[in-house]
Structure 1
Amino acid sequence: MSTERLIYLPLGGAGEIGMNCYVYGYGPKDKERLILVDLGVTFPDMDTSPGVDLIFPDLTWLTDRKDQLEAIFITHAHEDHVGAVGHFFGQLGVPVYARAFTANIARRKLSEHGFGDETVTTVSAYPERVETGPFKVSFVPVSHSIPESSSLLIETAGGRVFHTGDFKIDHDPIVGEAFDEALWQDIAKDGIKALVCDSTNVFSKSAGRSESELGGNLEALIKGAERMVVATTFASNVARVKTLAEAGERAGRSICLMGRAMRRMVEASIETGVLGSFPPVVSIDDARDVPRENLMLLVTGSQGERRAASAQLARGKFNGIEMKEGDMFLFSSKTIPGNERGVISIMNQFSEMGVDVVDDNDGLYHVSGHANRPDIAKAHELMDPQMVIPMHGEHRHLREHAKLAEEAGRASAVAVNGMMVELSGNKPKVVEYIETGRRYLDGSTQIGALDGIVRDRIRMALNGHVIVTVILDEDGEPLGEPWCELMGLPETGRSKAPLVEVLEEDLGQFLGRAKEATLKDDGKIEQELRKIARRTTLDEIGKKAEVSVIISRLA
C-alpha cells in the first residue's frame, strides 16, 4: 500500500467568493511537497472591517511549511486570485508561474514591493508543462472575463487533478481564447482523478451567454442617450471595456478612460498582445472640452468602491468632470454579494443629480464570466472525473454543486477553508482541519483578524469613546477634579445636563471618597473609573462607552 497521498487544502475561496488560495500536496503524510494555486485578496466593508484596506488569507499553516513549498501558480489576473502575491512573496520565496498577461500584472504587483521581474516566469499554454517537485503543471486556456485565464492540469504519480479556476463556456469571447471542448476531452482521455471546479453560478439554471451578444444592445443604448454617457465595469474585464468603447465609437462618441486600474489593464493587454486594437481614446484634459452629447467615459468602481471614479463622480467632481441632469450612468456589471449597499448608494446619489441610472437587471448589458449550472454540468461531462470538489463559492454554492455531481453518480465533498481533503482513494475524504482565518492590510501594516485591533475599532464606532484624565500630587491625593474628553458621543443625555459634566461629577465623587490604599494603586483607580464612566454613559445615553483612563502622578 502506498504511503504517498494526494491532498487539496483551500486556505481561501472555499465557503466565500473571493480571496482564492488553494494548496495541493503529494507525498508521505505531513511531508508532502506542496504547490500553491492563486494568492488573492478580498475587500473590506465598513460594517465588519472599518479602516482596513485589503483582506488576505491567513498563510500561517503554509509559511510554517515553506520548505515544502515548490511554487506558486496564478490562474488569471483578477485581484481575488493575484492581489496578494506581492504582499506574501517575501515570506514564501518560491517561483511564481503564470501566462503572459497574468505575469505582466503579477510583476507590476511584485515591483510595488521591491521585487524584480525575474520573480515571475512566463509559461505558454498546454501542452507546455512546468515540472516542480512531484508535480507537472500545465496552463489550459479557458474563457472568462479577463484575458488569458487558465485552468490547471496538475499531474502527479497519485493521479491527475484538473483545477478549473474561474471559467465559462463562451465560444466567442471577443478578447482571449474561446472555450475549447475538444481540448478538454483530449486532456480527459487519460483520466481525471479529481475535478476542482468553480461554483459561483451553480444556481443560475440558464446556459451562460457570450460576450459577443452585448455589442448591439450597448450601441443602441448609447445612441439613444441625449447627454454624456458614463459606463462602469470591472477594470479587468478587458473584453467588456473594449465592447463598451467600440459601441461608444459606433455611436459617435469620444472615449475617455478614467481610473488607474482601467488604464493599467488596457495597457497590459496591449503590451502582451492580448488586445490587437482598441478604439482611440482622448485624455482627461481633452475630454473636458468635448461636448457632453459626444462624450463617453469608461470608469472604475462598478462595485461601489469609495475611492474609485464612480463613487467620486457620485460625490461631485472627478478630474474636473461632473455628472449633470440628463446624463446617463450604466452599470455594465453584476454586483458581487456584499457590495450592494455601496452600489445602491451611488445609484441614489446620481438619481438626486437627475442622472439616469441603467443597471443590468434585464440582462441586456452584462454577461457573467462564470459558468452557469448547465455549463458546470457540461464541464463534469467533458472531464468525466472520478470525483468533483466544488470551490469558489459560498457554502450554499459548494453544497449545491456537490449535489449536482452526486446526482450524476460522481463522488463529491463540500470542503471549506481549512478542510484538508485527501484525493488518493476512490472518493474524497476530509482528513484534517487546519486553523484558518484572515489577515488585514491596515494602512501599510498587516494585522491578524483576531488581534483585536479591528474589534476595538468597531466597539469605538458602536459605543463612542471617553478619555478620563486624573492627576495625583506627590502625596497621592487628587489634584483638582478628573476631566473627560468625549468622541462619538452626544453632548447631553437623559438628565439634560452636559454629558461631560455629569461624567466628571460622578468620577470626582469617587476620587473624593476613595481610600488611601486605592489611591496608591493605579490599577484599582483605572478599574473603578472605567466602571463608573461606563455606568454613567449607560444611564445618560443608553450606551456603555469605551473608556481610556490616563493617570499622571507628580514626582
Structure 2
Amino acid sequence: MLKSQKLVFVPLGGSGEIGMNLNLYGYQNQWIIVDMGMTFGHKLGIDLIVPSIRYLEGKNILGIVATHGHEDHIGAIPYLWEKVQCPIYATPFTSILIKRKLMEAYIDDSILHTLSLNARFDLGPFDIQLITMTHSILEPNALAIRTPKGNIFHTGDWKLDPNPLIGESTDWKAIESFAKEGILAVVSDSTNALEEGSTPSEMEARHEISHAIAGHKQTVAITCFASNVARLESIVHAAHEHGRKPVIVGRSLWKMLDAAQSSGYLKNLPAVYDEDDFNSIAPSERLVVCTGSQGEPRSALFKMATGQHPRVKLAFGDVVIFSSRVIPGNEIEVSKVRNHLSRLGVHIITPRGTSLHVSGHPSQDDLKELYKWLKPRICIPVHGEHRHMKAHARIAEELGVSYTFIPQNGQALSIKEDGVEVIEEFEAIPCAVDGNQVVPLNHQTFRDRHKLMMSGVVLASLWIDKKGELLEAYVDCMGVYEVDDGMFDRLEDAVFMCYEGLTMDGNIPSLTTIEEKVRALLRQEIMTYTGKKPVCVVHVMEDK
C-alpha cells in the first residue's frame, strides 16, 4: 500500500461540543491519538458517553498522547483501549490517574509510558514536544508536533495564568522557540471564545474563597471540581487561616490529593481530616470540602443535602459555597441539590459575580495573545460548540491568520500550506457505556428504551392447548396508568374475543399472526383507555 503523503487531522470527539475529546493526526498511514475523553450521560440509564473509534479499524496506531488528566480527555481510555491496543504517553500526574483506570479495567499498565515535563519524543513520523501550559489541573500540556509537512501546535486545554499556585507557569520560551520554526496550524481550545477580556488567575479564587469563609459561626462546606488541586489547596489554606479544620469528603477528592502528593506536589499542605472526624470538630471550627458541584446524585454534597450521608450532616444556618461553574447540561441537577439545601435552611453562596470560581480556559484576550506569539498560517478551533469555534475563528482572522476552518466530528482534513481540504466525511456516532458494554447511541436498544420510558409496556401471555383452544390470557403492564380496577379484566376478555375471531373458521393461525393481531388489539385498546400507545409484547405458548 502506498504511503499517504498528506498530513491529516481527524476529530472524533470534542468538535461542535464541549467534552469527549479525541483527535487524530495521520501521516504516511501512521496515526497518533491525542486524548481519549468521555462525557456524562443523563438519561436512558446511560452513565457515560465515549467517541466512536470505528474510523481507526485497520489503521496503524502509534500511540495515545494525553495532554492532561481531565475526564473529558482521558476518561474513555479504559473503555476503548482494547480496540486500539497501543502505548499511552502522559506526564507523571496524568500517568497516575490513567494507571488507576487501567488497573480498574484489568488492563496491564506496562503500556503506559510516563514522560517528564517538557519531554520530546518521536512516534513514527511525528516529532512531539510537550510544552507546559496552565489550566485547572496539574501538568496541562500543549503538543508541538513537527512533521515533514509542517508544524502543528495542539494546545489541549489552557489559560494564561501567571500565578497558577501549583505547578509550572506557561513555558513561553518553548512556545517562542517553536514559533520561530514556523507553525503551519494551531488546533486550539475554544471553550471561552465568547468571553471578553482575560481569564482570571487562580490566585483571585484563593482570595475570594478566604473572604467567603470569614465571619460564619456554623459549619461551612465548599464544593469544587475534584481535579482542581490548586483550588483544594486554596480551600485548605483558607480553612486554617480562619481557624477551621478542613474535612475532605468524597473519594475523588482523596484520589486527586493522593495523585498530587505522589507526583511531588502539596508536600507542605496543612493538616486535613476525613469524614470520620466530622462530629468531633465543633461546627464553628470545621470546613467541609466535598464533591458534588454538578449535582451528581451519588456525590457527597447530594447525600449531605438530602440527609443520606452517614456521617456528615448539615443543619439550619450552615453555609455551602459553590466554587465551580455549572457545566452546560447539568443545570437541572444543580438546581435540585440547591433546592434540597434550601429546604434544610442552609445559606447558599454561588460564584455568580465573584471569583469564587475562575475558568481554566482562554478568554478572547488570551487567544489573541497566543496567536500574536505563534503567527500560524491556519487556525482550526476545537473543544467547543459551533458558536464558540466560530468566535475563535473570527479572532484568529482579525489577527491576520490566513486560513481558518471550523471542523466537525467525522471529518478527515488534509492540512496543507494553502489551507485545509476535507478529504473524507463519515458518521461519528458516539457510544454509550451501558453496563459493561460499549454500544452506539443510535442502536435499537436505546430507541426501545426511549419508547418504554415515554409510553410504558403492556405484556400479554396466551396459553393454547393441543386442540388450539385458548385456555388462558394474562395481561399486565409497567408504566401504563390503570384507569380503573377492571381495565385488565376487560383487556383479557378482548384478547379472548380476538382469538375467537381468528379461529372461527376452524383454522389455527400461525403464532406470528396471533401475536401481531393481539399486539394491534392491545395497542388500540390501551389508546382508547389512556391516550397512550405503549410497547406491547405478546407471548403465545402452545401445549405440544
**What TM-score results when the alignment is normalised by the length of structure 1?**
0.95
Aligned to 2:287, which of 271, 296, 310? Answer: 296
Taking the aligned partners of 2:252 and 2:58, their CA distance within structure 1 comes to: 34
Displacement of 1:418 after TM fit? 0.5
Displacement of 1:512 after TM fit? 2.2
Taking the aligned partners of 1:52 and 1:429, their CA distance within structure 2 comes to: 36
Q: Is the 8 A contact 2:159 2:360 kept in 1?
A: yes
Q: How does 1:52-67 map to 2 (within 5 A)?
A: 52-62=46-56, 64-66=57-59
Displacement of 1:277 after TM fit? 2.5
Aligned to 2:94, which of 88, 93, 102? Answer: 102
Displacement of 1:163 after TM fit? 0.3
* 3-state SS of 1:39 partner: coil
1:506 equivalent in structure 2: 494
2:416 equivalent in structure 1: 424
1:7 equivalent in structure 2: 8
Q: Is the 8 A contact 1:125 1:138 kept in 2?
A: no
1:23 equivalent in structure 2: 24
Amino acid at match of 2:13: G
* 3-state SS of 2:357 partner: coil
1:244 equivalent in structure 2: 235
1:461-520: CA deviation from partner (whole Å, max 9, x where unpaired) = 11011111111111222113x22111112121xxx5543233223222211221368743
Q: How does 1:193-342 map to 2 (within 5 A)?
A: 193-342=184-333
Q: Is the 8 A contact 1:324 1:354 kept in 2?
A: yes
Displacement of 1:166 after TM fit? 0.3
1:57-90: CA deviation from partner (whole Å, max 9, x where unpaired) = 011111x134x11111000000010111122222
Taking the aligned partners of 1:518 and 1:251, their CA distance within structure 2 comes to: 87
Taking the aligned partners of 1:518 and 1:56, their CA distance within structure 2 comes to: 53
Taking the aligned partners of 1:254 and 1:502, their CA distance within structure 2 comes to: 66
Aligned residues: 540
2:76 equivalent in structure 1: 84
Q: Is the 8 A contact 1:7 1:424 kept in 2?
A: no
Amino acid at match of 1:545: P
* 3-state SS of 1:484 partner: strand
Displacement of 1:180 after TM fit? 3.2
Distance 1:513 1:10, change over 3 A: same
Distance 1:3 1:93, change over 3 A: closer
Distance 1:449 1:519, change over 3 A: farther
Displacement of 1:3 after TM fit? 6.0
* 3-state SS of 2:6 partner: strand
Distance 1:423 1:518, change over 3 A: farther
Distance 1:498 1:172, change over 3 A: farther
2:542 equivalent in structure 1: 553
Aligned to 1:149, which of 140, 151, 170? Answer: 140
* 3-state SS of 1:479 partner: strand
Taking the aligned partners of 1:181 and 1:327, their CA distance within structure 2 comes to: 44
**Where in structure 2 are there 5+ consecutive unaligned residues?**
none
Taking the aligned partners of 1:184 and 1:545, their CA distance within structure 2 comes to: 60
Amino acid at match of 2:457: H
Taking the aligned partners of 2:394 and 2:176, their CA distance within structure 1 comes to: 23
What RMSD in Å do the two structures reach over aligned CA positions?
1.5
Q: Is the 8 A contact 1:97 1:122 kept in 2?
A: yes
Taking the aligned partners of 1:519 and 1:162, their CA distance within structure 2 comes to: 72
Amino acid at match of 2:364: R
1:217-264: CA deviation from partner (whole Å, max 9, x where unpaired) = 211221222211111111001111111111112111111111111100
Aligned to 2:39, which of 18, 37, 42? Answer: 42
Q: Is the 8 A contact 2:184 2:417 kept in 1?
A: no
* 3-state SS of 2:80 partner: helix
Distance 1:519 1:130, change over 3 A: farther
Taking the aligned partners of 1:320 and 1:3, their CA distance within structure 2 comes to: 61
Q: Is the 8 A contact 1:228 1:292 kept in 2?
A: yes
1:542 equivalent in structure 2: 531
Aligned to 1:435, which of 413, 422, 427? Answer: 427
Distance 1:194 1:528, change over 3 A: same
**Where in structure 1 are there 5+ consecutive unaligned residues?**
none
Aligned to 1:133, which of 124, 134, 158? Answer: 124
2:119 aligned with 1:119 = no
Taking the aligned partners of 2:395 and 2:198, their CA distance within structure 1 comes to: 15
1:529 equivalent in structure 2: 518
Amino acid at match of 2:458: V
Amino acid at match of 1:5: K
1:3-53: CA deviation from partner (whole Å, max 9, x where unpaired) = 6110110000111111100000112xxxx210000001110012xxx2112
* 3-state SS of 2:39 partner: coil
Q: Is the 8 A contact 1:58 1:436 kept in 2?
A: yes
Q: Is the 8 A contact 2:11 2:23 kept in 1?
A: yes
